[in-house]
Structure 1
Amino acid sequence: MIDHVRRCLELADDAGPDHGSSGSAKAHRKLVRQRQGVKYDAGRARAIAATILERMGEAGRARMEGLLVVGPDGKSTFNRLKKPAQRATGRGSDQGPGRGA
């Protein structure tokens, strides 16, 4: 969503949202939880995360850690994966089934 807004407003890639004070972000999370009927339980969330990490195994944990590696461009692998796909280009890309020569 942030990338979409950034493109629409023709902002630089490093421009990000300003959430105001941390109190505003906290209040927003609380409203979202209320609307979704979810209770905040940090202890349970940590327990679930620990269980997932245990089940993931060493190879899975290494892949997850690899997503956090920041490259020379200042972006992590995870951020590069979130980038939306570009429109197809090249010969025949605009031809659907049954079209063309």
Structure 2
Amino acid sequence: MASSEEMKFNKFLVLVKEQAGKQGKCFFLDDSEGNEADLGELLVQNLSGWLIDEADKAEFEANWKTGDDPGERFDDQYIYVVWQQNANGTVTVQFCESL
């Protein structure tokens, strides 16, 4: 059974993936980059990973799921996710090339 923290983080990860989907892309998590906060229902933090075009998802995922290096072809799609919370409490994410 998932812990409370895992469930809160998974909700945040769903938010990140939904934002990627709005751009026709898929987000694949690599690592946490700090700036962690528990916002009640969400456990948020800056992330790093790959923002892959939907058309390339199967090719990328085949390597990523086995733990293999995704390959140089995807190096330029490695990004950072930075979260923000506005005055109304709404959490948003931005995809950035650097922190």
TM-score category (smaller protein): under 0.3
Q: Greater relative contact order (Cα 8 A, min sep 6): structure 1 or 2?
A: 2
Q: Which has the larger radius of gyration?
A: 1
TM-score (norm 1): 0.26
Counting helix residues as a fraction of each chain, which structure ranks higher? 1
